[in-house]
Amino acid sequence: MLSLTRQALLGLGLAAAFVQASAAQVAFPQRPVTMIVGFAAGGPSDVVARLVAAPMGADLGQPVVVENIPGAGGTIGHARLLQARPDGHVIMLGGLGQATVPTLYRRLPFDPVGSVKPIGLINEVPMTIVARRTFPASSLAEFVAVARREGERLNIGNAGVGSTSHLCGLLLMSALGTPMTTVPYRGSALVLNDLVSGTLDVGCDQTTNTAEQIRSGTIRALAVSTAERVAALPDLPTAAEAGLAEMRMSGWTMLYAHAGTPQPVLERLNRALLAALRDEGLVRRFADLGTAPVAADRATPEAGRAFWDAEIARWRPLILASNQFAD
């Protein structure tokens, strides 16, 4: 009889635990979710965040509100995430900069890798090498000749140390074998503004930020950094076609949660992300911008972690070789 009683109690305990776990999953979210973007409004990360936020909110049954907290290569936004309760109601969208912060920032007050968990990879974005409309080169081959002749008399803008555009510029100068004068801005939108006005010579940024200006003719496109041409910009040659095979990279964006986020909440956020990546409106808009959602098997927390680790390892040697640090 005692054994049966113990079995019954054990069964009741397991049933209660199951109900509690199910309730925890159902209870999230209890209020709007804030998606932190560590860069200025109007830049490529912000564009992706706002496209993802609406369909994620529809799946969650609560709005997902984008909050821009720019500065220090995204680390201010990261610190803001760590100040929030680790319950999934504050998440963060990060880009390639999340892979450079561990090397660029040597004295951060938090662990940039261990303090967060990937929710899932969103997309990979081709990079475009662009110039002011009056730049004296109409092709990448002509640009290479001008850049090697002019060197540091040319200025190349980026969205800040550690940003995707900064890394693209480093890779471009490495491929060219010549330096240019690097001009950091507080966000990609400001770089684009100065390219359009003609006060900046060169930029290297994601198609999500440059495609519309390229099509309108307000800036001059020289090449795309991917192995194949981009469907949204079919006339734009690859850097490899123009003789710079080393100039190959993509930007990317990923959602992150506080490392203390409960696993059921992380899984619920991932399901909402997967639903957003299937949204027809998002897919169409991504295509207009020269990108696409990643496949579902690449948008899991586990795949995101493996991808992030590989990107950290890829970019660390280039940053160390450049001897450019953010602190």
- The domain segmentation of the chain, as residue ranges, is 31-124+251-322, 125-250
- pLDDT value at 247 more than 80: yes
Say yes or no to pLDDT of 28 above 70.
yes
**What token pair was written down for 174?**
């490495």
Distance of CA 305 to the CA centre of its chain: 14
Three-state DSSP string of the chain: CHHHHHHHHHHHHHHHHHHHHHHHHHHCCCCCEEEEECCCCCCHHHHHHHHHHHHHHHHHCCCEEEEECCCHHHHHHHHHHHHCCCCCCEEEEEECHHHHHHHHCCCCCCCCCCCEEEEEEEEEEEEEEEEECCCCCCCHHHHHHHHHHHHHHCEEEECCCCCHHHHHHHHHHHHHCCCCEEEECCCHHHHHHHHHHCCCCEEEEEHHHHHHHHHHCCEEEEEECCCCCECCECCCCECCCCCCCCCCCEEEEEEEEECCCCHHHHHHHHHHHHHHHCCHHHHHHHHHCCCEECCHHHCCHHHHHHHHHHHHHHHHHHHHHHCCCCC
Q: Is the pTM of this model over 0.85?
A: no
pLDDT at residue 17 greater than cutoff 80: no
The reported pLDDT for the residue numbered 71 is: 85
Identical topology for domains 31-124+251-322 and 125-250: yes
Q: Which of 155, 156, 159, 158 is nearest to 71 (CA)?
A: 159
Question: Tokens at residue 123, please?
Answer: 């997309």
Residue 158 pLDDT > 80, yes or no?
Answer: yes
Q: Token pair for residue 101? A: 């912060």
- Average pLDDT taken over every residue of the chain: 90
Residue 26 has pLDDT above 70, yes or no: no
At 14 the pLDDT is 43
Q: What is the average per-residue pLDDT within 191-205?
A: 97
Q: What digits encode the pLDDT tens for the residues 76-110?
A: 999 999 999 999 999 999 999 899 999 999 999 99
pLDDT at residue 44, as a whole number: 85
> Above 80 in pLDDT, residue 19?
no
% of the chain beyond a pLDDT of 90: 77
Q: In whole angstroms, how large is the CA radius of gyration of the chain?
A: 22
pLDDT on residue 9: 35
What percent of the chain shows pLDDT beyond 70?
Answer: 92
What are the pLDDT digits (tens) for 302-311? 999 999 999 9
Is 16 a residue whose pLDDT tops 80? Answer: no
CATH 3.40.190.150 fits 31-124+251-322, yes or no: yes
pLDDT one-digit tens code per residue, 278-292: 999 999 999 998 899
b/e per residue, 137-151, with b = 16+ CB within 10 A? Answer: beebeebbebbeeee
- Residue 244 scores a pLDDT above 50: yes
Q: Given pLDDT bands bounded at 50, 70 and 90, which one contains residue 181?
A: very high
Predicted local confidence at residue 18, as pLDDT:
41
Contact 55, 279 (CB under 8 A): yes
Q: Does domain 125-250 have CATH number 1.10.10.60?
A: no
Taking the C-alpha atoms of residue 291 and residue 273, their distance in angstroms, rounded to an integer, is: 17
Pairwise CA distance, residues 66 & 274, whole Å: 18
